[in-house]
Amino acid sequence: MTLIDELRGICGPEGVAADRGELATFESDAFTLVKARPDLVAFPRSTDEVSRVVRAAVRAGAAIVPRGAGTSLSGGAIAVDGGVCVCLSRMRRILKVDHRDRYAHVEAGVANLAVSNAVRDAGYQYAPDPSSQMVSTIGGNVATNAGGPHTLKMGVTVNHILGATVVLANGDITQMGGTYPDAPGSDLLGLVVGSEGTLGIVTEVIVRLVRIAPEVRTQLAVFETIDAAARTISAIIAAGILPAALEMMDALTVAAVEDWLHMGFPRDAGAVLIIELDGLAPGMDRQVARVGEICRANGCREVRIAATAAERAELWKARKKSFGAMGRYGMSMCTQDGVVPRTRVPEIMRFVAEVATRRGIRIANVIHAGDGNIHPLMLYDDRDARQVRAVVEASHDILRKCVELGGTISGEHGIGIEKVGAMEAMFDAESLAMMQRIRIAFDPGGTLNPRKLFATGGGCLELLKPPKGIPA
């Protein structure tokens, strides 16, 4: 029996995609610089089917690439070596919600926001909120240890995962963690979170639910310079205030948002901050006023407080649609994801500006400033090989600088294929070898998501090289 027949036998006739047209949808994810088509896409409906698909693929010697909604910004879901893409989009049931013990047990293909939507009326939420949350799946969020604008106070995905069902590379189904914290022994679940589909396929997840804050206050502060905005952030934190979110947008981003949404943002601002406080109502006015004072003491030109839920939604729309706003310039975009200690934000922003000049590309910046997580958004023409190369090189310049400043090469998007070449800037050879051995302990055959996370013969630049015989 051929692999395709076997997979159809497991997932049903409509549960396998095999023709060129169908497969084209799966040739990339949200990282658009590299394209590679899987040979087959399987859409299992249960953990058991995932297990059987994995066994069948292993027997056939095919690579396995797990995929959720395909929103990876680092190419984590691209089938670099072809093989079987295991797409969890049909596993989208919420299996159980337990308010008393504050958890939800969901299948991996459930969208992030769908979890919060299911528990909101009871006053709960699933806290991590990546900008892709309308579509990105819990399974994908677990794979990348996804973040979002509210991680400063609430933490990232791993802080909200209690348990997972994982299909290992040999097809075994295993349970890690459970409905309450602290399983005995070393924390295998903590290792699997953020492993980008290289240690197993996460098929079900038990997520922690948290109470929604009754009071939320969002304000916009306008600054002449990035330095002044960054100083303000440090001052807010030094005052003992831990905002729910502290987001920064630079001049180019603000202008793009304003051109598109006409929200009355000052077009000549050097940087704006979105500062959100949440918690109980008593004392909130005092905290909001204190933040306003700190902003003004650090040279803020103007503070606008969202007076209504609608105004608050507008401010967040500006932030979350900022990448979309850039799209209006009719160019391709590539976003980076470095992190520096939050006190080094001014330095890294100056460096990003230098890189833009040196490499001849436009870079706009959206920053999870409270965490020091920068997202330089590079605009380029994807038909121009020279520009494509400049973008990749600029990315590496910036990521290496992040490491030099005491930070890291990815805060939330993952390494995928995009940043494998930068891993050696972050870790020494012994540490990388140790991680590779961990991978082999889980997946001796190297079947799961090959060529992701660690360089095994060429990184992103390698993949960008045009096929032999075609002049660059």
Residues in 351-370 at the binding interface with another protein, rule: CB under 8 A: 368
Binding residue (CB under 8 A) for another protein from 373, 387, 395, 447: 373
Which one of the spans 83-91, 180-188, 245-253, 455-463 is the region binding another protein (CB under 8 A)?
180-188
75: alpha, beta or left? (left if phi > 0; alpha if psi -120 to 50): left
CB of residue 57 vs another protein: minimum separation in angstroms?
A: 20
Candidates 151, 323, 192, 197; CA nearest to 249 is 323
Give the torsion sign (CA, 64, 451, 431, 30).
Answer: negative
- Position 193, amino acid: V
Show the tokens assigned to 302.
Answer: 């103007």
User: Rule CB under 8 A: which of 414-443 touch another protein?
Assistant: 414-415, 419, 423, 426-428, 430-432, 434-435, 437-442
Minimum CB–partner distance for residue 416 and another protein (Å):
10
| Closer residue to another protein (CB): 14 or 428 | 428
Q: Within positions 268 to 307, which residues make up the interface with another protein, using CB under 8 A?
A: 279-283, 286-287
> Rounded to 5 degrees, what are φ and ψ at 208?
-80, 140
Choosing from 96, 120, 211, 386, the residue that interacts with another protein (CB under 8 A) is 211
Angle at 397 between CA 391 and CA 403, to 5 degrees: 135
Taking 3-state DSSP, the helix, strand and coil percentages for the chain, each rounded to the nearest 5, stand at: 40, 20, 40
Q: Which stretch binds another protein (CB under 8 A): 36-44, 298-306, 335-343, 348-356?
A: 335-343
- Counting residues that bind another protein (by CB under 8 A) gives 85
Question: Footprint of another protein on residues 220-239 (CB under 8 A)?
Answer: 234, 237-238
Closest CB 345 distance from another protein, rounded Å: 11
- For residue 288, count other CB atoms closer than 10 A to its CB: 19
Instruction: Compute the C-alpha angle 87/35/419, nearest 5°.
Output: 90
Measured distance CA(88)–CA(47) in Å, rounded: 10
Minimum Å gap between C-beta 243 and another protein is 11
Tell me the CA distances in angstroms from 16 to 61, 88, 107, one per residue in order: 18, 12, 19
Query: What backbone phi and psi angles, to 5 degrees, belong to 457?
Result: 80, 75
CB of 225 to another protein, least distance (A): 19
Residue closer to another protein, measured from CB, 10 or 77: 77
**Cα–Cα separations (whole angstroms), residue 216 to 229, 243, 281, 399, 433:** 21, 10, 9, 34, 46
Shortest distance, position 50 Cβ to another protein, whole Å: 18
Q: Phi/psi at 328 (nearest 5 deg)?
A: -65, -20
Q: Which of 72, 145, 232, 253 binds another protein (CB under 8 A)?
A: 145
CA distances 92 to 15, 112, 220, 347, Å, are 15, 11, 37, 43
Which of 4, 60, 135, 191 is the binder for another protein (CB under 8 A)?
Answer: 191
> Mask 390-409, x = binds another protein (CB under 8 A)?
----------------xxxx
Closest separation in Å from C-beta 269 to another protein: 24
For residue 141, which phi and psi values (nearest 5 degrees)?
A: -60, -40
Q: Per-residue string for binding with another protein, 73-102, x by CB under 8 A? A: --------------------------xxxx
Choose between 41 and 189: whose C-beta lies nearer to another protein. 189
Closest approach, Cβ 71 to another protein, in A, equals 15
Binding another protein by CB under 8 A: which of 342, 359, 396, 452?
342
